[in-house]
Amino acid sequence: SQLAEENLWALSVHEGESVTVNCSYKTSITALQWYRQKSGEGPAQLILIRSNEREKRNGRLRATLDTSSQSSSLSITATRCEDTAVYFCATGTQVVGQLTFGRGTRLQVYA
Amino acid sequence: GGIITQTPKFLIGQEGQKLTLKCQQNFNHDTMYWYRQDSGKGLRLIYYSITENDLQKGDLSEGYDASREKKSSFSLTVTSAQKNEMAVFLCASSPEGGNQAPLFGEGTRLSVL
């Protein structure tokens, strides 16, 4: 099974609503990253949260990290149609190249 | 700003063919990666390279070769394309240390007839 995994396959919300995507992981990590991938594009990093941090914000995005439960969440407030994308979490260790991606959660934001 | 350029954007091959995908980055990053993305699955690491002429196998290296000809370029070869194979191949790069968040190209979409 995946070493990093988003908990939901897909979800949909109406524009303006808030939404949270969750991720669980199975290894000791140095950092966790959230990526967004829009159709036809490569993944784009949204937030990097290090293992000694509990929360990180970037505009309408808020990421949390709970190393005791090995879980993370990404919340988006006041969603917009352009937030429609697949959201991935990825975990990293000290070892170069050891970045593990989850399968992704597909978010659809409706007008 | 920098950019990661993958060529070609779309690639249609035939079963058994040897296919080469190219990636260029102008961030002056040390580490480069090739990932494979299949529908409904997470990205899986094929090869990565921490410097020019270096090559490290990822989880999915069987059936592929790679070459880091110079710091800015990293190519991937599918040694024998599999019939009905369909995937997106993503190139990425990151600064020295490799545990920084990699930046991704837009991908090469492969279809094998």
Of A44, A94, A104, the CB nearest to B42: A104
Instruction: Give the CATH class of A4-110.
Output: mainly beta
CA distance A14 to A110: 5
- For strand A10-14 and strand A61-66, is the pairing parallel, antiparallel, or unpaired? unpaired
pLDDT at residue B59 in the model: 87
Question: Under an 8 A CB cutoff, do B99 and A101 touch?
Answer: no
Residue pLDDT, tens place only, B55-89: 999 989 999 999 999 999 999 999 999 988 899 99
Q: How far apart are the first and last CA of chain A?
A: 35
* Tokens 């784009």 belong to residue: A44
**Phi (first) and psi of residue B104, to 5 degrees:** -110, 150
Q: Which amino acid is at B69?
A: E
Query: How many domains does chain B contain in total?
Result: 1
Between A3 and B59, the higher pLDDT residue: B59
CA distance A107 to A86: 6
Interface probe, candidates A96, A103, A105, A106, chain B, greatest B C-beta count within 10 A: A96
Q: Say whether pLDDT at A1 is over 50.
A: no
CA distance A102 to A25: 9
**Partner B contacted by A104 (CB < 8 A):** yes
Question: Under an 8 A CB cutoff, do B4 and A42 touch?
Answer: yes
Provide the shortest C-alpha distance from residue B92 to chain A (in Å): 9
Output the CA torsion A41→A43→A45→A47 (10° steps): 120
Domain that residue B23 falls in: 4-112
Q: Say whether pLDDT at A15 is over 60.
A: yes
Q: Say whether pLDDT at B112 is over 90.
A: yes
Q: What is the mean pLDDT of residues B95-99?
A: 65
* Tokens 């993503």 belong to residue: B90
Residue pLDDT, tens place only, A18-65: 999 999 998 888 889 999 999 989 999 999 999 999 999 999 999 999
**Phi (first) and psi of residue A82, to 5 degrees:** -70, -5
Cis omega before residue B8 (within 30°)? yes
Question: Under an 8 A CB cutoff, do B98 and A97 touch?
Answer: yes
Of A42, A48, A93, the CB nearest to B105: A42
What is the domain-level CATH number for residue B47?
2.60.40.10
